[in-house]
Amino acid sequence: MISLLLFLYIAGTIFLYMIMRKLYRKFSFPFFIPVVTTSVIIISLLLSFDISYSEYMQGAKWIDFILGPSVVAMAYPLFIQWERIKKNKAPIFIGVIIGTIGGIVTGTILGIIFSLQHEEIMTIIPKSVTSPIAKDLSLLLGGNPSLTVAFVIIAGVFGSMAGPILLKAFNVVHPYGIGIGMGAASHGIGTAKAIEMGEEEGATSSIAMTLCAVLSSFLCPIIGYFFLV
């Protein structure tokens, strides 16, 4: 019985995501992004049937397990566009540096504005880094890694929904500008959205996501200390 329930958790999650993906392809409304709609429905079902998150994850953990390989698969557009990207490495690298610093500084400033405690601010500032690295950074800085992951997801989901709208509003049309913006602000989820927008956008977003993670490992402690000293 338990094994059947665990199977239903993972199979149900995949099936629900496929339905939401078809819905998104049909309407393409920002709030219909599959990650958002699937998460909302699953949370509602867990609350309605009084199923704990830990119980659900006993089956759904296999989806979490393939997160790593799925992120690695994002390197494929990067491989295809590598020669073209090498010719524009300077503006891409500068954009990534600005995006990384911007993500860290905005998180820190928001924490100061809302009078958050030191631990809470250290929890927020890695919000624009991909989850595995963000958790380690949060732990290193004295934050709450579990809560950091929640902020990472929020940043990713919000970026994938609002990013294309903001880019259009500010007339950002160059593939590299779009890719850097999505990858630096919204890591893996933003990169997945960038891939939908085009091959060059997806490749640049993959670079931005990776470099932001590396740079954040050095800059988060420095910027955090500078603002909170």
- Show the tokens assigned to 114: 């809302």
Rounded Cα–Cα distance for residues 151 and 157 (Å): 10
Rounded average pLDDT over 48-64: 79
Rounded Cα–Cα distance for residues 205 and 126 (Å): 18
Q: Which residue has the higher pLDDT, 4 or 171?
A: 171
- Return the percentage of the chain with pLDDT > 70, whole number: 92
Place of tokens 């880019």: 167
pLDDT at 98: 92
Report H helices in the chain: 2-27, 34-48, 53-65, 67-73, 75-80, 82-86, 89-113, 118-124, 131-141, 145-169, 175-197, 199-228
pLDDT at 32: 82
pLDDT at 11: 85
Rounded average pLDDT over 167-186: 90
Is residue 229's pLDDT more than 70? Answer: no
DSSP 151: H
Q: Which residue has the higher pLDDT, 136 or 224?
A: 136
Q: Mapping DSSP to helix (H, G, I), strand (E, B) and coil, where does residue 211 land?
A: helix
Q: Give per-residue pLDDT as tens, 194-221.
A: 888 888 888 888 888 888 888 888 888 8
Mean pLDDT comparison of 52-66, 67-81, 206-220, highest-scoring range: 206-220
Rounded Cα–Cα distance for residues 167 and 126 (Å): 23
Is residue 19's pLDDT more than 90? Answer: yes
Q: Give per-residue pLDDT as tens, 78-100.
A: 677 778 778 888 888 899 899 98
- Show the tokens assigned to 167: 């880019």
Residue 204's contacts (CB-CB under 8 Å, 6 or more residues apart) are 81, 85, 92, 175, 176, 178, 179, 180, 183, 194
pLDDT at 218: 87
Rounded average pLDDT over 51-63: 78
pLDDT at 109: 86
Rounded average pLDDT over 1-18: 79
Decide if 207 contacts 94 (C-beta within 8 A). Answer: no
- Show the tokens assigned to 132: 């595995």
pLDDT at 71: 65
Q: Whole-model pTM?
A: 0.78
